[in-house]
Structure 1
């Protein structure tokens, strides 16, 4: 209720009680468990091992200025799990660069996203990379963007994906650069607009993987 952007969410606004929210969370967890149990044994163990990250992430804003990095570690676990679900194991040369690229990508888009809440975060007393970087945010997220694209290029090379992947990766680099270089970090609306635009970054990378694999 103390954060402008989230005050109308169901629990914060009182539409749902905390108990009802916990019941919905329980339903989602059971649904996720049901899906996980359909996968191979290796994937079940790998998926279950992410629970420590999942349950501890919400507390990170109280302890570190880097909750966006912790979110990246948590949110991109699916890159490892998706590979394991298909292959039954992990190929570090491929999945680690993919995972790392996702972590750096998360640092880009979630730092932009966090700039929406920086005034409220200061009032509440929680931390974020938006507060940590301040006026240097553009330089930081530019570095994260370069690291993300470089890791995606390494992943594609190690996976033997065909040339269309790199053409799409170039386009994705342009989309990410556009976000970083044009975002108005003082405007909540523009920060949200740039954050939402990451659906196109993801769609471009997905298309590159698809067409790159077809051509290889």
Structure 2
């Protein structure tokens, strides 16, 4: 029996009945106004769900802002490169994830309408598309120094592993954290040609940020995950999720604080960290693990949150000049 449709699957859509939005896509996305043959590929790279590229980009920008002040032209050049790189590499990673998960996605209501399980894109064409996006990412990568290029190539290892993690561990969100926060290393490396304790601590802290927001996200799928036989922190932590997310977010804030101290950031940075902590406290207070809509909204809130530590780091860099 096919998975039961979500309300948004049966509602009128500008994409047409054969190209319906997945339930967590933005209903007014610009993807709906593109030529029909292009839409499945844009959806494959999650262009109608931009939260992911923001979450991939923020650690890059935070790390860059810790390493070099915004008064330096290099800062803005790197920010632009990381923006483009985050969009295309997030798209490549999503395509690879959907290729690996195509049989599982058919069993999960939220993912059954994705282009591969819906039969709109074959896995072979999806693989070719992922390769094309990766080559675009390589063009961005080679603008950096040799150490950063090597570090970026190494990041493909956790990217390749991540889609399989849910099959053998209840902590696939930890593998996602290792993958999605690689930019915390890349930003510093792109500036300095190496790594330092501040970048390593930021990377560790961001891992716990991902554990928090993606555990919240995973609660949307917990019933279907049981049916599909895959694992997640949502299933592992269950009713204890709120306490664990509080712990994850506390460690993230501690990582931001320690990274700033190691990078000798001025006081505006710590105002940004304090505001970040307040927002995360609001998230945990609002959390209802049995309300998928609430979980999705709280997950998405992390994309805007990224501006707060970034603004604090930029202001601190300007003050230090």
What is aligned with 1:98?
202
What is aligned with 1:76?
181
Matches within 5 A, 1:1-216: 1-91=106-196, 93-216=197-320
| 1:125-177 deviation per Cα after TM superposition (whole angstroms, max 9, x unaligned) | 00000001001001111111110001100111111111111111111111111
Distance 2:226 2:111 in 1: 15
Distance 1:212 1:181 in 2: 30
Distance 1:207 1:9 in 2: 35
Question: 1:79 Cα deviation (Å)?
Answer: 1.1
| 1:97-128 deviation per Cα after TM superposition (whole angstroms, max 9, x unaligned) | 11011100000000000000000000000000
- Higher helix proportion (structure 1 or 2): 1
Distance 2:260 2:228 in 1: 42
Aligned positions, number: 215
Could you state the TM-score of these two structures normalised by the residue count of structure 2?
0.66
Structure 1, unaligned stretches of length 5 or more? none
| 1:170-192 deviation per Cα after TM superposition (whole angstroms, max 9, x unaligned) | 11111111111211110111100
- Runs of 4+ residues over 3 Å off in structure 1: none
Distance 1:90 1:192 in 2: 34
Question: 1:12 Cα deviation (Å)?
Answer: 2.1
Could you state the TM-score of these two structures normalised by the residue count of structure 1?
0.97
Distance 2:216 2:311 in 1: 25
Structure 2, unaligned stretches of length 5 or more? 1-105
Question: 1:199 Cα deviation (Å)?
Answer: 1.3
Question: 1:69 Cα deviation (Å)?
Answer: 0.6
Distance 2:107 2:234 in 1: 18
